[in-house]
Structure formats: C-alpha cells, structure tokens
Amino acid sequence: MAEEGPTFSPERMMDSLYWWGIPTLFKCPHDPDPANCDIALAGVPHSTGNGTTERDQHLGPRAARNVSAMARRMHMKFGLDPWTACKIHDVGDVPFPEANDNEACIERITDFYRKIDEAGAHPVSIGGDHSVTGGIVQALGGPQGNLTKGRMVALFHLDAHTDVYEHLDHFLGAKKSAAHWGSYLVHQGNVDASRSVQIGIRGNARTLDWIQPSIDLGYEVITMDRYLEIGEEASIAIIKERLGDMPVYITFDLDSLDPTVAPAVSNLEPGCEGFRMNQATRLLQSVRGLNVIGGDVVCMMPTKDHPNNITAHVASSIMFEIVSLIADRIGKD
C-alpha cells in the first residue's frame, strides 16, 4: 500500500463533497465574529426588495451552502489557494425578524455589515434580491467606512438591469428596492458613480430612456451591445481605468449571465444573449490587483433551478472568483 501524502486526510478528501458534513459556505468554519477572519462569507436571505411574486430569492444562501463545497478549489490562473492564503469564515446569515418589511430589512443588513466593516473583514455575500447591495454598501461607503478609509465606493456592477430607476418613487411598495439601490447610494454619498461601471445591461426595456438615469448620475454604462461592439479588451480597459485606485465593491446579478447558464434567476432576460461563464470570469479576473473590498452575488431563485442545482453552482463559482480576488491581494499586502 502506497504511503499517504503529507496533505492527505479523510476530512480533506471529503471537504469538496457538498453532501458531506455541515453545510457552510465553501466548507469554511462557522464563526459569527468577523474579528476572527480576513474574509467574512455571509448569507442575506432577503426577498421583499424585489416587490414582485418572484420572492424565493431568500432561499439563495441555503442553496449556495448546500453545493458550494464543490467550488472549494485552487485558483489555477492566480496560482492561489485562497483558503490558506487568509482566514475565511462563514459568519452566518443576516437576521430578518421583519422579513416582509423591506425598509426595516435594509437597515438590518446595514447594521450587520457595519460590524463586519468595523472588524476589518472583507464581506463576500450571497443573496437575496438585489436590494441587499444597498444595505451592504450603506455600511461600507462614505465617511464612516473602515475598509474604504472614509472614501466612497466604486461599484463594479454586472447586471442585465441598471437598478437606477429614479422615475419610480417605489417598486410595488419597496422604496430602498432592487430597482433603486444604484440610485440612492449615489445620492447618499456611499457610491461614486463617476468611478463606477455597469456592464452587461441588455433587453427590451419599458421605456426608451431607461439607461439615461445611470448616465445622468455619472455611471459608465457598457451595455451588452456595446460590449460586443467594442470587444472584451476595450471593455476591460474602460473598467480598470474607471475603478483605478478606488475601494471597489463588486456586485454580480446572476441575470447578467445568459439564461442557459443561470436559469434560476428572478428577472430573466431571454430576448438577447447574456454573458457566458468564461466571459464573466474574465471580466472579474481583470480587476485583479485593484482594491476590492468586498462583493456579492444576488438574485438566485433555487425553486426554479434545474435538478442538478446548476444556478447554485454558478453562483458559488462567481463567489469563488470574488473571494480569490480579495485573498490574492491580502496575501500580497
């Protein structure tokens, strides 16, 4: 019988099997105290910010925990083992005792992430509808921010939709909604739109001027048509120049991906092709070395997923890229 290598253990062999053990994000230790880690993985099981009947997005964090061990990998392109490069813990889920009250929930999110920020941990989260980004970035960007050193955040926003619907006072009752966070964060001084990018925007909209509010606020908008026209390298050049030396927060809406890649999302845009997985990962990897302080993956609806949980696996893979970007930078600081 051959000798077992120095890194072998029964537990290590089993750690990449999603059906074994206690389901935490990427099989990381569960520790609710963010002071004990460099990267804080968190679930945000919130779905009342979308304001529609598509509310099963609150089940996203559990679905990711169930399968994310499969994404506990080495990052081959970076030559990185993120799980040993820094301390990465699952700090649990944001509690929502007022789950049907969107405005109360957004403030719960902010309170939860303010503690993570004060501890100096970098949050990487799984939602939840896209309103959760508003609650998170309220805690990070602006004078009170620790990770940003009091600066505003530059958003790297991958999405089929702008979420800057300033012409609406609310979205079916939700004010700090999935349709508004990209707007109010700018007005509140949490986000610097002039240093932010929205990419992947596509689809036939309800108004012809639907992108104009983003432009008026100062966002750089790279629609899917523009991305295909100017190409990947030119798009990446715009992204890197725009984000520059800013504290960067990545928010990844799964509907930026083509529905064949991520079918279980709340606002499908099947009328024109979205990003393929290799396109999305190259865009994410293009910001390697920038000051990425955190990120989230949102809008998964597990109840609409395929039996093989493909959208949950895709969400985990996107989270892995964000984790690796942060771990790579921490390891070099």
Q: Does the pLDDT of residue 268 top 60, yes or no? A: yes
pLDDT at 52: 62
3-state secondary structure the chain: CCCCCCCCCHHHHHCCCCCCCCCCHHHCCECCCHHHCCEEEEEECCCCCCCCCCCHHHHHHHHHHHHHHHHCCCECCCCECHHHHCCEEEEEECCCCCCCCHHHHHHHHHHHHHHHHHHCCEEEEEECCCHHHHHHHHHHCCCCCCCCCCCCEEEEEECCCCCCCCCCCCECCECCCCCCHHHHHHHCCCECHHHCEEEEECCCCCCCCCCHHHHHHCCEEEEHHHHHHHCHHHHHHHHHHHHCCCCEEEEEEHHHECCCCCCCECCCCCCCCCECHHHHHHHHHCCCCCCEEEEEEECECHHHCCCCCHHHHHHHHHHHHHHHHHHHHHHHC
Residue with tokens 């790579």: 328
Q: Does the pLDDT of residue 14 top 60, yes or no? A: yes
pLDDT at 2: 40
Distance of alpha carbon 106 from alpha carbon 96, whole angstroms? 9
Give this prediction's pTM. Answer: 0.94
pLDDT at 312: 98
pLDDT at 1: 32
Decide which of 272 and 207 is more confident: 272
Tens of pLDDT, residue by residue over 147-167, are 999 999 999 999 999 999 888
Q: Which of 39-53, 117-131, 249-263 has the lowest mean pLDDT?
A: 39-53
Tens of pLDDT, residue by residue over 59-73, are 999 999 999 999 999
pLDDT at 206: 79
Q: Does the pLDDT of residue 174 top 50, yes or no? A: yes
pLDDT at 8: 63
Decide which of 72 and 52 is more confident: 72
Tens of pLDDT, residue by residue over 291-316, are 999 999 999 999 999 999 999 999 99
Distance of alpha carbon 15 from alpha carbon 72, whole angstroms? 8
Across the range 27-36, mean pLDDT stands at: 97
pLDDT at 53: 57
Tens of pLDDT, residue by residue over 75-86, are 999 999 999 999
Q: Is the Cβ–Cβ distance between 265 and 245 less than 8 Å?
A: no
pLDDT at 11: 75
Confidence of residue 10 (pLDDT cuts 50, 70, 90): confident
Query: 32 CB contacts (<8 Å, ≥6 apart)?
Result: 91, 92
Tens of pLDDT, residue by residue over 210-262, are 899 999 999 999 999 999 999 999 999 999 999 999 999 999 999 999 999 99
Inter-axis angle of helices 310-332 and 277-285, nearest 10: 20
pLDDT at 103: 93
pLDDT at 13: 74
Q: State percent of the chain over pLDDT 90.
A: 80
| Mean pLDDT, the chain, integer | 93
What domains are defined for the chain? 33-332 (3.40.800.10)
